Chains A and B, each alone.
Chain A
């Protein structure tokens, strides 16, 4: 039976419309509403809104905390990308190439943090970093490094770096699985051929694995960047609430503070617009930087 064109379109509509409706309501509408609200002085609790044009944007440019939040976010982006990609790639290669017998077990263990809510991870690591009872400090003392102990999350210098560890720990599993999928798709015969040609493991990794799983690496990096710029808020809010004295304040947590705690919803929306622009710009730049010819052997 041949479907008429009309039937085909109706079927497509049937498949797409529900998603489209949900997408419009939950993504497109808030996006434009956020943009709209950024031009108002609005507390977010009452019905009185005053149009102030670019007033919020002017304030944004003069807010001394904004540059800090941007720097903190990009610090997390860079350290997370480096940390997660190195470790995830290492594990992925080890679990696929080195013929580890317990590979399935490790796969489960490394993936485990991904099935936990970030909130739980934040609370868990708060205990780990606890200055008196946490295993971090007690561990340091146990191995004779008592002088290294400090209130990690309560220190203005160490609180931000301290957030990197849980974020990396929580992220490894997913990207390890993605990379493993890529590596397992590489034909075994390529590695055999390389070995016959005398390539060692290291050369095989750089010349074969990396170019062939590049699409997965690129996707992983972009994914880490986007989720960090939009989602670093959760771990910050749980673990430090942006403190001490804004030492861990990121764009998202500052938005929350302004919009929901200080009742400047319009200004919060402006920060939201800034996050959107920065995320888009970063992704575009990365798309350009990570561009490589597709490799096939």
Chain B
């Protein structure tokens, strides 16, 4: 009898042990919270817990820590919980699925998609609220954005926090030394690539074939924006009927084919990840590469001493067209099921201040999406960012906004065909037809 009891005890202990192991696996380590008393109302009424989810990537987390610290100081009765890190989107996924999301979310990085979150109706409708916000100097927030929020059928679900943009980079030091001209349109770009190919013996252009959207967003989007403005760009992103077989688009894709045929695109590009292609660029194995503003920050450890970053907004258009940039924005949003919506709104409003836009440029090397921030006199802001800022404000370059990012459902088949075109396995006409077919399939499913 005793032995039997013992046996039972053993099995119970074993099962418990197994359970403990399982529970141990699932505990999360990403969150940290700063203290504040849980109960009691403060004078401005903000109390309880505010949970903020933010992805930490190329921009780091120094800016976030600062803003949150200041916000905490202003609201001592609020407990702020931070969920942060490079994998936070995956870590928080189960919380979103189980309708238990954080209050505020910064949407950036792999595994996070603004479009998808809106399709899953996870974000709060901010349309009316955002119109009521005013900055310290009295200007409405809506008038202070460089680029206004994404527009989903007239509704606003997120506020663009980070202003990033794609373009083509070159080695300014090399160009100055060898006297290469910086291209301003397709003709001058082809001439420049011809000269570089002959003089340097390299394939002048590289990009990552593993992530073909670098070429799509970095070279093609600005080109489409230059020749057709917002209307054409948005029609292409939405996959509207006939957009991808538009003669202006066919012309640009034909130019890509010309680049390929002339041997200007690095033959190995399809095998390269973004960092590999960027490394080749830094080693002067290629002269041009399309990446966003984060390139200097991302490669900071590997930049050779005599290397100087130069940035071209767009160069695939005709001389008569204006150069364009198509901003790529990283938004801040509030969860529809936020448990503390008042604090969430207060935090979002708090973050959009000019002084934080200033520190953002200093700490991340990128811009916050706010107008009228003086970067020029700030010694801590990198020079390429000042150049870009000047360019955006100069009026030589038009800022063309897309209504919203392209859906991955459409971008993936498009990217596949793009790689074929750039490898010379498909001509421009076939590409446009393939893109049109993919667009129709995408819209039929929507």
Contacts and interface: CB of A to CB of B under 8 A. Distances in A.
Contact of A151 (B93, B97, B270): B270
A10 B117 CA distance: 51
Contacts of B122: 45-46
Interface string A40-52: 0001111110000
A25 to B, nearest CB: 7
B269 interface: yes
Contacts of A285: none
Given A43-B116, A46-B121, A156 B268 contact: no
Nearest to B413: A65
A17 B15 CA distance: 7
B15 A45 contact: no
12 contacts: A18-B14, A45-B93, A45-B120, A46-B97, A46-B121, A47-B97, A153-B270, A154-B267, A154-B268, A240-B271, A243-B270, A244-B270
B15 A21 contact: yes
Given A7-B3, A243-B209, A263-B116, A129 B15 contact: no
Contact of A244 (B18, B276, B412, B423): B423
Interface in A264-283: 264
Contact of A156 (B8, B113, B272, B425): B425
Nearest to B111: A260
B116 A131 contact: no
Contact of A10 (B4, B119, B417): B4
A270 B98 CA distance: 22
B35 interface: no
A154 B271 contact: yes
Interface in A117-145: 126, 129-132
A243 B270 CA distance: 8
A263 B268 contact: no
Contacts of A45: 93, 96-97, 113, 116-117, 120, 122
A241 B274 CA distance: 12
A269 B18 CA distance: 28
Given A43-B116, A46-B121, A18 B96 contact: no
A6 B8 CA distance: 11
Nearest to A46: B120
A82 interface: no
A200 interface: no
B280 interface: yes
Contact of A7 (B7, B117, B119, B419): B7
Given A45-B97, A45-B117, A243-B209, A159 B271 contact: yes
Contacts of B19: 21
B97 A155 contact: no
Contact of B10 (A14, A129, A240, A244): A14
A44 B96 CA distance: 10
Chain B CB within 10 Å — which of A6, A246, A263 has the most? A263
B210 interface: yes
A33 to B, nearest CB: 13
Contacts of B267: 131, 150-151, 154
Contacts of A262: 408-409, 412
B7 A263 contact: no
Contacts of A18: 14-15, 17-18
A261 interface: yes
Interface string B197-228: 00000000000011010000000000000000
Contact of A14 (B11, B96, B268): B11
Contacts of B419: 243-245
A196 to B, nearest CB: 57
Given A45-B120, A48-B120, A262-B409, 18 more contacts: A7-B7, A10-B10, A17-B11, A18-B14, A21-B18, A43-B120, A46-B117, A46-B121, A131-B271, A151-B268, A152-B271, A155-B423, A156-B425, A244-B420, A245-B419, A245-B420, A257-B412, A262-B408
A80 to B, nearest CB: 21
Interface string A235-261: 000001101111000000000010011
A25 B8 CA distance: 22
A22 interface: yes
Contacts of A257: 412
A184 interface: no
Nearest to B92: A45
Interface string A1-36: 000001100110110011001100100000000000
Contacts of B119: 43, 46
Interface string A151-165: 111111001000000
Q: Choose among A11, A17, A44, A45 the residue with the greatest number of B CB atoms under 10 Å from its CB.
A: A45
Contacts of B98: 47
Contacts of B423: 154-156, 244-245
B271 A156 contact: no
A236 to B, nearest CB: 11
B285 interface: yes
B43 to A, nearest CB: 37
Interface in B243-285: 267-272, 276, 280, 285
Interface in B378-434: 408-409, 412, 416-417, 419-420, 423, 425
A110 B116 CA distance: 47
Contacts of A264: 409
Contacts of B117: 45-46
A241 B210 contact: yes
A14 B7 contact: yes
A151 B17 contact: no
A45 B112 CA distance: 9
Contacts of B17: 18
B22 interface: yes
A132 B14 contact: no
Nearest to B426: A245
B99 interface: yes
Contacts of B116: 43, 45-46, 263
Contact of B14 (A17, A126, A151): A17
B409 A129 contact: no
A14 B3 CA distance: 13
A264 B113 CA distance: 13
Contacts of A47: 96-99, 120
Nearest to B412: A262
